[in-house]
Amino acid sequence: MTSEQAFSLSPIVVGTVKGPGENGNQYVFITSDNRHVKIGEYVYYEVLDANVQRKILGKISARCLIDHLPDRIFADTEISPEAIAALVGFTYDNPEIYEVAVDVIGYFDLGLGFMNPRKTPDPGAKVCLADDRMLRQILNRKQPQEIGSAHIGSLLLREMNAVPIALDVKELVSTHMAILAGTGSGKSYTAGVLVEELLLPHNRAAVLILDPHGEYGTLSEMRGHPKFQAEDGYSPKVKILTPDDIRIRVSSLDYYDILTLLPEMSDRQQSILNKAFRLLQKHKKGEYRWGVQDLIAAVREADVQEDEEGNVKQGSSAPALEWKLERLERSSYFHTFEHTVSPKDLFEPGQVTVLQMNEINQEEQQVICAAVLRQANQARMNTHRGLIERGDENHLPYPVFILLEEAHRFAPATSRLAAKRY
């Protein structure tokens, strides 16, 4: 925070309102202040609303120069700009006048958030720079170091740490969030900062990272770091699961997962597999442990043909499907009984689990991701509904945060199953 802004009794006036902008949620003001008035900066005007003086916050979206020194002053290096500025009536300290457009955000209410009273400023009203204290209060639903806050950085246009920005962890785990930017711009770094904040003593979150490139192993450095220690003995746990540690129970897969793992198949083969999968679910209802051999038996049952005399014989698709399914049975990651990625294995308050998949092909990565997310989602919902008892591998009594690094690998825009699946 700068000394001129800290708890200032008199706000910094940066300009005067000229009138409305290009749309109903915008106004323009005139200023000669080239120091504070920047694109993206926050300013406010005051109005009387319901007998309360409100500070209506806005964000500068554009500015243009409307009055300035003659170009000749800058073109001729032999002429003193100060001298000519005085001759033409300019004060050289503030020779330029700007017209600035502001998009209105509204005033902040602790209970309701931002409210827009739809009261535009009158021409001649003063526009003030929003001070650091005001921005700290209204940009953060949770202040840094509060329980449930994740401090991710500082407001760019202010001095370092003058306006720290913290996200609300409850909001993060209650919805979806994407970190979008170009290659090399710091997406993984930002995600790492967020994970570290979630594991600080005041949060102690349960975090899972699906890591297709093996980039998050360095999180193990949190263990023993003084920043992450608490007086009650808390220290975050870091669990790294390498490809050799990953085992997925075949019965946790759905039809499209299995289809993804098999080589290209004809429409007839896909139809038989789909029928077999439904038969298996019917036969094994209530059981969640079946294997590839059970699915092969269901394929044989599904692929039968009856001739004109009523004789039943095996169809031609079953042998080809059986061969492809036996290839799946030899996979390193999909098994009849072994399952190392249940919610009980992956989640614990104060623990980050990194599922490294850097040696696994993309189709298998997609299926592993789908199986893990599906089971975690069902576990959380069924635990909340009281359908799962404590001790069950699917008992998940707390919210979790799951990070998908390179998420487009797990949900590609196009794939060979996209048209059929979606």
Instruction: Tell me if 258 sits within 8 A of 299, measured CB to CB.
Output: no
User: Nearest Cα to 133, choosing from 105, 172, 163, 159?
Assistant: 163
Question: For 41-57, what is each residue's pLDDT tens digit?
Answer: 999 999 988 888 899 99
Burial class (CB in 10 A: 0-12, 13-18, 19+), 185: exposed
pLDDT for position 7: 43
Given a cut of 80, whether residue 306 has pLDDT beyond it is: no
Rg over alpha carbons for the chain, rounded to the nearest Å, is 31
CA 189 to CA 150: how far, in whole Å? 14
State mean pLDDT over 388-410. 92
According to DSSP, residue 165 is labeled: E
Domains of the chain in start order, with CATH, are 13-139 (2.40.30), 203-246+340-422 (no CATH), 254-326 (no CATH)
Which of 369, 359, 295 minimizes the C-alpha distance to 332? 359
Residue 208 contacts residue 347 (beta carbons within 8 Å) = yes
pLDDT at 4 over 60: no
Tokens of 367: 């299926």
CA distances from 46 to 49, 108, 373 (A): 9, 13, 49
**Residues 391, 344: Cα–Cα separation, whole Å:** 8
Give the residue, 111 or 232, on which the prediction is more confident.
232
pLDDT digits (tens, 9 = 90+) for 6-30: 444 588 999 999 999 988 889 999 9
Residue 408 pLDDT grade (very low, low, confident, very high; cuts 50, 70, 90):
confident
Per-residue pLDDT reduced to its tens digit, 349-396: 999 999 999 989 999 999 999 999 999 999 999 999 999 999 999 999
